[in-house]
Chain A
Amino acid sequence: MNQISDIDYGTPARTSAEMVSLEIDGVTVSVPAGTSLMRAAMEAGIAIPKLCATESLEPFGSCRLCLVEIEGRRGTPASCTTPAEAGMKVRTQSPRLAALRRGVMELYISDHPLDCLTCSANGNCELQTMAGVVGLREVRYGMDGANHLSDRKDRSNPYFTYDPAKCIVCYRCVRACEETQGTFALTIDGRGFASRVSPGQMQPFIGSECVSCGACVQACPTATLMENSVIEMGQAEHSVVTTCAYCGVGCSFRADVKGNEVVRMVPHKDGKANEGHSCVKGRFAWGYATHADRILKPMIRKRITDPWREVGWDEALAYAAGEFRRLQDKYGRNSIGGIVSSRCTNEETYLVQKMVRAAFGNNNVDTCARVCHSPTGYGLKQTLGESAGTQAFKSIEKSDVIVVIGANPTDGHPVFASRLKRRLRQGAKLIVIDPRRIDLVSGPHVRAEHHLKLRPGTNVAILSALAHVIVTEGLVAEQFVQARCDTTSFEQWREFVARPENSPEATAEVTGVPAEELRAAARLYAKGGNSAIYYGLGVTEHSQGSTAVIAIANLAMATANVGREGVGVNPLRGQNNVQGSCDMGSFPHELPGYRHISDDATRGDFERRWGVSLQREPGLRIPNMFDAAIDGSFKGLYCQGEDIAQSDPNTKHVIAALEAMECIVVQDLFLTETAKYAHVFLPGSSFLEKEGTFTNAERRISRVRKVMPPKAGMSDWQVTMALSNALGYPMNYHHPAEIMVEIAALTPTFAGVTYERIDELGSIQWPCNAVAPDGTPTMHVDEFVRGKGRFMITQYVPTDEKVTRRFPLLLTTGRILSQYNVGTQTRRTGNLRFHPEDLLEIHPHDAEERGIIDGDRTTLESRAGSTVLRARVTDRMQPGVVYTTFHFPESGANVVTTDNSDWATNCPEYKVTAVQVARIVEHAARDAGLEVADVV
């Protein structure tokens, strides 16, 4: 792909059943009613000059460059703000229009520096292009206007520069911040020549509300807001469309490239997950891919106390294979296993589970989805029949009520959050269920109708109480339930939730949520129109994570909020390919497509295709592997792209397990915390070096395309293949497309998926098969995948993790916008400027009781361990609850989390840990360079 500049239609597309036909410069064109003349012209291949218009933003009509003449009408209206009407005859070129446009351009240029040859936008500047288009040959006002060249540039943001001298006051940046991102951080301050883009109250960008999503930079037609990478490297010479490797939104990006170097990443406007928007991570934080810390040579060592020895690929792979076989000979076939990362592609993931099952000869394969969304897979499969969310992100445009439970989209899934905020600004109502006052609860531009500020660990009690109100107040969608659901299970569930102990009044004591607030929220959800539930790890990472997912599905079915646009049950997946890694059979008990390993027919299909016989019993899950390692029965691990030593709970326990193994093979970009315990290190590839596919939270399969060759010489799928060959199980793929052919042949929900089909459609939401050749945006439309929807009883069982006098507070964890998971990637980017350390959020009352003031260093201690964090005192927290992120190994939040886990899936209970917090009194001695501290 060589296309760098996309066609800009000037104004957004409109959807309407009514089409209007008109004539533009003698060409007849039909467009949906409401389409602007500017867009209609572009549809006909006629480009009208423009500066303040761009298709991602609503028309503004300020630059007056897009003026046109309409037969029978006076004047020269702006084509961007004038809707097309049937029978119109429009002229886009005439001597009068040319003169007007040149006049406009003269005014712009009189206030613009003429340094085009040295300008960073040279070759990609709309002002420069328009000057050429209108035939500007002179500026009657002179070239020495108020060009602001002496104004200071704002270089405070690590990724882009604001140069006031280049600003033409088109407001595109201001409008992008409002309409696209929904942050409203920018305005234009001053009048006339004194006009300036103002972040906040004329603050530097870094100190303003700006979230560095890059929408303003993308919208800017000049070099006023420009990526620093473009300033440093110049314009790109080709581009590649690929998929972001951060969160589960799965944004499509256009990588603008010069040779093998990325110049910038620009959100791809045709990407259906993000529709041209991005966040600070995907847009800017890709520098880790070329960071000096990358390990590019395979390494081996006999013992973890030995120094690493660089070796060639063949030696490393032969050593790893030899060790794995030695362990199996000595300790048995089941003594080794593999862990797959949800950051890897579908093809890589598929290959690892294939290698474990076919070459290792056991089912000891698991994915890091174990520790995040495994309860989603279980809960939705049991109730609805498929282990996946029900909607496309775009569905939210038709939602009237949006429930966000256990998720913080503005930080964790920011591009989806922008869609959500846009819908809220259009009038949809929001219910937030979260122990913490997340940004969506109350902001200048969005507000939750209800915030159910529950105690951590009481999700199931809250969800059953919501169901209680729906059932006892006659809010059940009886007709839907009768037609679509298993009525026996429904009646049992109805009887259960109607019990007095599930009433909001009864549950208020444990949840802390006032009954009336909960009742109002339940009524709104049930009767507010199209109601959609979006949830995250605040639901799943509990001892009752699966029960809570089931309870959410129960609510959706009971209120008929499944099976059409605007509604549904929507897990917000943490990592880019959580959905895909689960789809690809990475769980020890399931083959690709969520089919149980004991199913003889399915297993038979794989055995025939793979030419081996497979074990019919489930293998070990990640926490089981750790336990087995400590017990001495699990001795070897192939760990691809997952830093279990940092990301899994109860670090002490994890490290004990790692130390107990005799051969750990880590395949990763960096020497991670886990690699400290490894015997073989195989260099991995970043997403920029990969060919393959990711599947996002809406089941959307998107292509990942190689932007640069693998830095270590081998692609990750080639490494797995070579390891398998070294183990004696032959694999012989020439391209990931061939792996997808095999996946499609063996997985009914992927039957119609090929790279050609993805290229044709842009992306595909599975199921994609003969019944749905273009994919399935909305699931369970006419019937549930399992046939009748199944209600299940969701008894609240309090967690074993209880507060005591010694540990009187509850810790819950989460993410921040600029950092990603354990920070392996984002800590190696400019994002450190936004969030240089993990902080402990604590309520003012709890802080005061402990003598803690904002910024103090504190110890955070649980039954599992202790760590040190700086305190942020905030009433965002409720009394009795503290919160931290887990992005930095130094703070090691998982040192304190326990190995309590979900009953159905063993997903760790990260979200509830009983802790104590104490202030660290730092002696004056520290100032003298001594490490002396007391805890009070």
Chain B
Amino acid sequence: MHIEKLIKMANQIGAFFEAMPDRTQAMKDIASHIQRTWDPAMRATLLAHLDTQAEADIGLKPIVDEAVRSHRKALEAPT
């Protein structure tokens, strides 16, 4: 799946939760939303993108980047 589309989707999710006053909770909600609605392959593609791209090229909003990294375990596809 095209990573550009996944990045856009993740950033859109981030834009909604970013407005919440509790940043920690917002990051949890971002990760939870992705985990609960994205197919594991989509999540894996996003995580692989994070692993392989230089920071400047990742393209995620900071809050999304941080949410994905800090909740990585929950987002990983089941083995």
- Is residue B9 within 8 Å, beta carbon to beta carbon, of the partner chain? yes
Name B26's closest neighbour in chain A (CB-CB).
A793
B40 contact set on A, CB distance < 8 A: 617
Interface residues of A in 600-632 (CB under 8 A from B): 616-621, 624, 627-628, 631
Name A800's closest neighbour in chain B (CB-CB).
B8
Whether B16 and A903, one on each chain, are in contact in the complex, defined by CB atoms closer than 8 angstroms, is yes
For the complex formed, measure the closest distance between the CB of A370 and the CB atoms of chain B, giving whole angstroms: 12
- Stretch with Cβ within 8 A of A (4 or more), from B30-38, B49-57, B65-73: B30-38
For the complex formed, measure the closest distance between the CB of B57 and the CB atoms of chain A, giving whole angstroms: 20
Measured in the bound complex, the distance between the Cα atoms of B39 and A588 in whole Å is 9
Whether A631 and B1, one on each chain, are in contact in the complex, defined by CB atoms closer than 8 angstroms, is yes
Whether A624 and B15, one on each chain, are in contact in the complex, defined by CB atoms closer than 8 angstroms, is no
- Is residue B13 within 8 Å, beta carbon to beta carbon, of the partner chain? yes
Whether A903 and B36, one on each chain, are in contact in the complex, defined by CB atoms closer than 8 angstroms, is no
Name A546's closest neighbour in chain B (CB-CB).
B16
Whether A589 and B36, one on each chain, are in contact in the complex, defined by CB atoms closer than 8 angstroms, is yes
For the complex formed, measure the closest distance between the CB of B59 and the CB atoms of chain A, giving whole angstroms: 14
B9, B12, B21: most-surrounded residue (chain A CB, <10 A): B12
Whether B15 and A618, one on each chain, are in contact in the complex, defined by CB atoms closer than 8 angstroms, is no
- Is residue A139 within 8 Å, beta carbon to beta carbon, of the partner chain? no
Whether B39 and A619, one on each chain, are in contact in the complex, defined by CB atoms closer than 8 angstroms, is yes
- Is residue B48 within 8 Å, beta carbon to beta carbon, of the partner chain? no
Q: List 30 A-B contacts (CB under 8 A).
A: A334-B39, A492-B20, A492-B21, A495-B21, A496-B19, A544-B16, A589-B37, A598-B36, A618-B36, A618-B37, A619-B39, A620-B39, A624-B1, A624-B39, A628-B41, A633-B1, A633-B41, A793-B19, A793-B21, A794-B19, A795-B19, A797-B12, A901-B9, A903-B9, A903-B12, A903-B13, A904-B13, A904-B16, A904-B33, A905-B37
Measured in the bound complex, the distance between the Cα atoms of B40 and A748 in whole Å is 28
Name A899's closest neighbour in chain B (CB-CB).
B5
Whether A797 and B78, one on each chain, are in contact in the complex, defined by CB atoms closer than 8 angstroms, is no
Measured in the bound complex, the distance between the Cα atoms of B42 and A588 in whole Å is 14
- Is residue B58 within 8 Å, beta carbon to beta carbon, of the partner chain? no
Whether A906 and B9, one on each chain, are in contact in the complex, defined by CB atoms closer than 8 angstroms, is yes
Whether A543 and B12, one on each chain, are in contact in the complex, defined by CB atoms closer than 8 angstroms, is yes
Whether B36 and A793, one on each chain, are in contact in the complex, defined by CB atoms closer than 8 angstroms, is no
B13 contact set on A, CB distance < 8 A: 903-904
Whether A631 and B36, one on each chain, are in contact in the complex, defined by CB atoms closer than 8 angstroms, is no
Question: In which size bucket is the chain B interface?
Answer: 20 to 34
B9 contact set on A, CB distance < 8 A: 901, 903, 906
B2 contact set on A, CB distance < 8 A: 627, 631
Name A793's closest neighbour in chain B (CB-CB).
B19
Interface residues of A in 520-554 (CB under 8 A from B): 543-544, 546-547
Give the A-binding residues of B (Cβ under 8 A). Answer: 1-2, 5, 8-9, 12-13, 15-16, 18-21, 33, 36-42, 77-78
Whether B41 and A334, one on each chain, are in contact in the complex, defined by CB atoms closer than 8 angstroms, is yes
A904 contact set on B, CB distance < 8 A: 13, 16, 33, 37
Question: In which size bucket is the chain A interface?
Answer: 20 to 34
- Is residue A711 within 8 Å, beta carbon to beta carbon, of the partner chain? no
Which 4 residue pairs of A and B lie closest in terms of their CB atoms, listed nearest first? A795-B19, A903-B12, A793-B19, A797-B15
A794 contact set on B, CB distance < 8 A: 19
B8, B18, B19, B37: most-surrounded residue (chain A CB, <10 A): B37
Name A588's closest neighbour in chain B (CB-CB).
B39
Name B8's closest neighbour in chain A (CB-CB).
A800
Digitize A337-375: 1 where CB-to-B-CB distance is under 8 Å, 0 elsewhere: 000000000000000000000000000100000000000
For the complex formed, measure the closest distance between the CB of B47 and the CB atoms of chain A, giving whole angstroms: 14
For the complex formed, measure the closest distance between the CB of A543 and the CB atoms of chain B, giving whole angstroms: 7
Measured in the bound complex, the distance between the Cα atoms of B9 and A793 in whole Å is 19
Whether A903 and B78, one on each chain, are in contact in the complex, defined by CB atoms closer than 8 angstroms, is no
For the complex formed, measure the closest distance between the CB of A172 and the CB atoms of chain B, giving whole angstroms: 53
- Is residue A596 within 8 Å, beta carbon to beta carbon, of the partner chain? yes
Q: Beyond A546-B16, A903-B15, A904-B13: 20 further Cβ-contacts under 8 Å? A: A334-B39, A492-B21, A495-B21, A589-B36, A616-B78, A617-B40, A617-B77, A618-B36, A620-B39, A620-B42, A627-B5, A628-B1, A631-B2, A633-B1, A793-B19, A793-B20, A797-B15, A903-B12, A903-B16, A905-B37
B39 contact set on A, CB distance < 8 A: 334, 364, 588, 617-620, 624
For the complex formed, measure the closest distance between the CB of A647 and the CB atoms of chain B, giving whole angstroms: 20
A496 contact set on B, CB distance < 8 A: 19
A588, A619, A621, A903: most-surrounded residue (chain B CB, <10 A): A903
Digitize A460-487: 1 where CB-to-B-CB distance is under 8 Å, 0 elsewhere: 0000000000000000000000000000
Name A617's closest neighbour in chain B (CB-CB).
B40
Measured in the bound complex, the distance between the Cα atoms of B16 and A617 in whole Å is 23
A596 contact set on B, CB distance < 8 A: 36
Whether B77 and A624, one on each chain, are in contact in the complex, defined by CB atoms closer than 8 angstroms, is no
Whether A797 and B16, one on each chain, are in contact in the complex, defined by CB atoms closer than 8 angstroms, is yes
For the complex formed, measure the closest distance between the CB of B40 and the CB atoms of chain A, giving whole angstroms: 5
Whether B37 and A795, one on each chain, are in contact in the complex, defined by CB atoms closer than 8 angstroms, is no
For the complex formed, measure the closest distance between the CB of B19 and the CB atoms of chain A, giving whole angstroms: 4
Measured in the bound complex, the distance between the Cα atoms of B8 and A654 in whole Å is 19
For the complex formed, measure the closest distance between the CB of B14 and the CB atoms of chain A, giving whole angstroms: 9
For the complex formed, measure the closest distance between the CB of A594 and the CB atoms of chain B, giving whole angstroms: 12
- Checking A364, A492, A627, A800 against B1 with a beta-carbon cut-off of 8 angstroms, the contacting residue is A627
Whether A618 and B38, one on each chain, are in contact in the complex, defined by CB atoms closer than 8 angstroms, is yes
For the complex formed, measure the closest distance between the CB of A382 and the CB atoms of chain B, giving whole angstroms: 10
B8, B18, B20, B41: most-surrounded residue (chain A CB, <10 A): B41
A621 contact set on B, CB distance < 8 A: 37
Name B6's closest neighbour in chain A (CB-CB).
A627
Whether A795 and B78, one on each chain, are in contact in the complex, defined by CB atoms closer than 8 angstroms, is no
Name B15's closest neighbour in chain A (CB-CB).
A797
A905 contact set on B, CB distance < 8 A: 37
For the complex formed, measure the closest distance between the CB of A102 and the CB atoms of chain B, giving whole angstroms: 73
Measured in the bound complex, the distance between the Cα atoms of B12 and A617 in whole Å is 22
Measured in the bound complex, the distance between the Cα atoms of B15 and A901 in whole Å is 14
For the complex formed, measure the closest distance between the CB of A464 and the CB atoms of chain B, giving whole angstroms: 11
